[in-house]
Amino acid sequence: MAFTLPPLPYAANALEPHISQRTLEFHHGKHHDAYVKKLNELIEGKPYAKLSLEDIILQAAPKREDRAIFNNAAQVWNHSFFWNCMQPNGGGEPRGDIAKRLRESFGTHGDFRRTFTEAAVGQFGSGWAWLVLKNGKVDIVTTPDAFNPLVAGDAPLLTCDVWEHAYYLDYQNRRQAFVEAFLDHLVNWDFVSKQLIEAETRSAREAPARAAAGRR
């Protein structure tokens, strides 16, 4: 069963003026679509074709000879996740448990905003900035190129695409302005909260198995 390009969860002009319709149409309709098509081409007739996207990422990650499969699978996953991390009239300070967890890890919302922005701007070249659940705490990491935190065993909660194709038409070289617009106006905190709940539920379910493995 070939992978398909998931539709955007909102209209292509819904994130204006922070991300233009032109950017979203290129980013989703051309870049994301190209990763889906290339992935299907690369896995056709191989055992990978029977796996879920997550399993392709995890199995291909350590194999040098499957780097193209890994890159395209991870970029398909990362982009689908990124679209869901945004919504019109989003961003700003979250409420509820996620707000408490951000405070525990980073301090005030301003501290979180500064730390995330510095990480995203500091990622040299193409890549992604992430909020993850790492060893039971929320943390910020960046990854180069197609890499994503699943490979390191961290649970992604939020991501910002900092490849130039994500912002160049709207912001040219001003990556910081794009990241600030993302944080202040676009983040879908309900989606992030849901990722946190799911990651903690998964972690609690897997804890007995991990403990048993450790005793052997």
Residue 199 structure tokens: 């990651």
Least gap, CB of 74 to Fe ion (angstroms) = 11
Query: Cα–Cα distance between 211 and 80 in angstroms, integer?
Result: 33
Span from 102-110, 166-174, 186-194, 198-206 in contact with Fe ion (CB under 5 A)? 166-174
For Fe ion, the closer of residues 26 and 203 by Cβ is 26
Residue whose C-alpha is closest to residue 105's, from 91, 89, 119? 119
For Fe ion, the closer of residues 83 and 189 by Cβ is 83
Give 10-14 contacts, CB < 8 A, sequence gap 24+: 10/86, 10/87, 10/88, 14/88
Q: Does residue 161 belong to the site contacting Fe ion (CB under 5 A)?
A: yes
Q: Does residue 182 belong to the site contacting Fe ion (CB under 5 A)?
A: no
Residue whose C-alpha is closest to residue 9's, from 91, 94, 92, 82? 82
Span from 14-22, 64-72, 153-161, 204-212 in contact with Fe ion (CB under 5 A)? 153-161
Q: Does residue 128 belong to the site contacting Fe ion (CB under 5 A)?
A: no
Span from 10-18, 163-171, 183-191, 192-200 in contact with Fe ion (CB under 5 A)? 163-171
Q: How many residues bind Fe ion (CB under 5 A)?
A: 3
- Residue listed under structure tokens 């003026």: 17
Least gap, CB of 7 to Fe ion (angstroms) = 16
Residue nearest to Fe ion (CB): 161
Span from 58-66, 84-92, 132-140, 164-172 in contact with Fe ion (CB under 5 A)? 164-172
Cα separations in angstroms, 92 against 10, 167, 187, 192: 19, 20, 8, 13
Contact 77, 2 (CB under 8 A): no
Q: Does residue 163 belong to the site contacting Fe ion (CB under 5 A)?
A: yes
Q: What is the CA radius of gyration of the chain?
A: 18
Interface residues with Fe ion (CB under 5 A) are 161, 163, 166
